[in-house]
Amino acid sequence: MECETPRLIVSSYKGKNGKTLASIALAHSLIARGYNVSMFKVGPDYIDPSYHAAVTGRPSRNLDKILMGNKVVERFCMYSSGSDIAIIEGVAGLYDSPDGESEEGSTAQMAKLLKAPVIIVINGERINRTAGALIKGLRDFDSKVKIVGAILTNIVGNQEQKIRNAVKSEGVEVIGTIKRDRTLEKIMAYRHLGLVHANETGRETIALASSIASQNINAEIALKLAKEGSDPISFNGAEREKPFMKKIKVAIALGRAFSFYYPETIELASELGDVKFVDPEKDAYVDADMLIVGGGFPEVYAEQLEKNKPFMKSVKDHIEKGKLFYGECGGLIYLADTIAYMGYEYRMSGVIDAYAVVMNEPVGHGYVTGEVIKDNIIASKGTILKGHEFHYTKMIMKDREIFTLKYLKGKGIEGFDGVYIKNAYASFMHIHPETYNFLNKMLLQKFM
């Protein structure tokens, strides 16, 4: 089969140059003109895709070569089908990769896999002619990467025309500019894991940001470059693992404190039965066969979580009764006795005897690989699990016998992870269901 959806990759020469803002501004401009836009994010990320989804009204999908291999091509083709254009936001700088030596996991590698032209975001602060040198250097570094356009961000005063001239001198089209704006700076605020999640910022606020930023974006030029620069991709239709047939009740924690979920996790949960979203800040209890608590910012909202003691008790009862529980990162922290953050201590659910301390620097960051050292509800001994971690939390635990995962690569909890109690499994490792369908595995272990 062939995929012919026009596509553009939005990249830059480094992070924090405004790729997400440029991506949603471009999407807003195209949607305003009646085009059907699908969006994607290179690599493992929950936050940037939340902004994409807020603008397009549909899930943004991750394209992660390291975790998914060449399935990323099938994923792109499947989820971009029917779109007039696909916008793919890159990760870090164009050629940056996790190991810093090869192209594996880089935006440039994805551009070549998807045969997609690239737009470079250039931060216009204190720069003019050097913008041309940046374009030339990025283009000449790998001639197989097609750089066709640029979006200029953080523009003030009379610098715009100078930068435009420099970029055009290298034969690259300027799609548009985003002027420095206090409202945009306030909305697109950063926290320790990146931008503030869209769940907290709010869809209307993000719509305002994308509207302001899109005022000087030329959608027609972008679509023209996408059509001219995108080559057809050959791919094989992927067969998905059949969902477990027993229908169950699934509760998913979703709110300000917990919001890090891949769309596929929620979609797979929906195939298992009735899904209900619960907010650990507000709801009183859990009534489900399975509870999923993903990552997020429990430390930021620890005071509010602590106050909702009925929900914490309900979670503890859920686990003690042997019902299914799956937690990632924030979901693991929620099971601890106490969390220490910004000089204060807050009580958590107390399912495990652990003290969680939020540090000033990342404790674990990057791709991880672990070997299962004890049978548990998601995998049998000897299974190799792959995922990613990004957390600032140090877990101090007394009972180390509850670990079921030993890291071959990564940090976890002093090289271990996979806390397992009864039918509850929690870990700092984030797993994409396209890599390992942990939900199906849990049901097979529980009911077969």
Number of other residues whose CB lies within 10 A of the CB of residue 289: 19
φ and ψ of 215, to 5 deg: -60, -30
Q: Is 154 left (phi over 0), alpha (psi -120 to 50) or beta?
A: left
- Contacts for 329 with CB less than 8 Å, ≥ 6 apart: 260, 294, 295, 296, 389, 390, 391, 427, 428, 430
322 and 361 in contact (C-beta within 8 Å)?
no
How many Cα neighbours within 13 Å face the side chain of 435?
Answer: 23
Choosing from 31, 329, 332, 348, the catalytic residue is 329
Tokens 């039965």 -> residue: 273
- Contacts for 24 with CB less than 8 Å, ≥ 6 apart: 51, 52, 54, 55, 206, 209, 210, 213
Q: Does 329 participate in catalysis according to the annotation?
A: yes
- Contacts for 12 with CB less than 8 Å, ≥ 6 apart: 18, 19, 90, 93, 94, 120, 121, 122, 123
Q: How far apart are the first and last CA of the chain?
A: 37
What is each CA distance from 368 to 12, 86, 131, in whole angstroms? 26, 29, 36
Rounded CA-CA distance 308/310 in Å is: 6
50 and 259 in contact (C-beta within 8 Å)?
yes
Among 297, 372, 382, 305, CA closest to 338: 305
Among 121, 119, 117, 132, CA closest to 164: 132
Among 157, 65, 164, CA closest to 105: 65
Q: Where are the beta strands (DSSP E) in 124-281?
A: 147-155, 173-179, 190-191, 194-195, 233-234, 248-253, 258-260, 273-278
16 and 63 in contact (C-beta within 8 Å)?
no
Show the tokens assigned to 445.
């272990």
Tokens 């914490």 -> residue: 312
The residues assigned a catalytic role are 329
